[in-house]
Amino acid sequence: PERSYREQLDYLNPIAQPLASRKLTRKLYKCIRKGLAGTGARWGAGPGSWRRSPLTLVLAGDTLPIDVYCHIPIMCEDRSLPYAYVPSKS
């Protein structure tokens, strides 16, 4: 069974800011599902993922260890890319 939005907030990392609201989180999940079904979204942040500039970056707020992705918000701010954290990858 999936956890509720409130339960997912219990597992957030301390760096997960700005956090998407419940409504925005639902919309982002829907966009990600549609994008992965087509060609609009890419999964992961490998070395080639910054060649073409993404429009928006969505990060999971429950990713551990934090060192895996703590540099990504700084890269987004340097490139003026909008980004947001959602409570969970699932």
What CATH number does residue 26 fall under? 3.30.1330.30
Is 70's pLDDT higher than 70? Answer: yes
Residue 34 has what pLDDT?
84
Q: Is residue 22 very low, low, confident or very high in pLDDT (cuts 50, 70, 90)?
A: very high
Burial, 83: exposed, middle or buried (Cβ in 10 Å; 0-12, 13-18, 19+)? middle
Is 47's pLDDT higher than 60? Answer: no
Domain that holds residue 58: 5-42+53-86
Residue 18, φ and ψ in degrees, nearest 5 = -80, 135
Number of domains in the chain: 1
Is 48's pLDDT higher than 90? Answer: no
